[in-house]
Amino acid sequence: MPVKDLTKIALMVTILIVLGVIPPVPLGFIPVPIVLQNLGVMLAGILLGGKRGTIAVALFLFFVALGFPVLSGGRGGIAIFAGPSAGYFFGWLFTPIMISNGLKMVHNNDKWWFDFIVIWIVGVIFVDLLGTIWLDFNTGMGFGKALVANLVFIPGDTLKAVLTTYIGRRLNHYPQFKD
């Protein structure tokens, strides 16, 4: 892999780690906090494309697994992948490739909302749905209850999808088309 690509991946991992410096917002009714790191995961798809974006997110999760305190709030460790947030992490792994492939199909220079819809469906609905399914399995709280609790993430995650769309179009930077 060219040094330029490795540098971009390293920068993306850094962005993911820096977003983790912003403390998580704990919620009393669900054992999963509001975080900013999923913004970085959506950005990975836009800024790096499917392959390199996936490598960046996988590397980040590998650092978490190794115990580096890179998750928001300074957390890390393999046990996190058996905890209530594991479903979201699984979704994060597929987010860059799905966003990248989705954009390849629908991107239109004149219609920003085509990009937004792809980013929203993958980065918000897909990830939150996987998170919900695992949360129910992990806590036994029931799918309906887990789904309703997850609604709390939708407004903030939608804003992150808007920001990702804006940044992608502002930079006019769609390397995923060259994957």
**Chain residues in the site for ligand BTN (CB under 6 A):** 24, 32-35, 38, 71-72, 85, 88, 127-128, 131, 153, 156-157
To ligand BTN, the closest distance from the beta carbon of 138 in angstroms equals: 12
Nearer to ligand BTN, 9 or 16 (CB): 16
What is residue 61's three-state secondary structure?
helix
Q: Are 122 and 95 in contact (CB under 8 A)?
A: yes
Nearer to ligand BTN, 20 or 49 (CB): 20
Nearer to ligand BTN, 115 or 128 (CB): 128
Neighbours of 4 (CB within 10 A): 8
Nearest distance from C-beta of residue 148 to ligand BTN, angstroms:
14
33-38 contacts at long range (C-beta below 8 A, 24 or more positions apart): 33/72, 33/73, 34/152, 34/153, 34/156, 35/72, 36/72, 36/160, 37/71, 37/72, 38/88, 38/92, 38/123, 38/127, 38/157, 38/160
Residue closer to ligand BTN by CB (options 60, 174) is 60
For the bound state, the minimum distance from the C-beta of residue 166 to ligand BTN, rounded and expressed in Å, comes to 18
Choose between 6 and 21: whose C-beta lies nearer to ligand BTN.
21
Residue in 102, 95, 97, 105 with CA at minimum distance from that of residue 128: 95
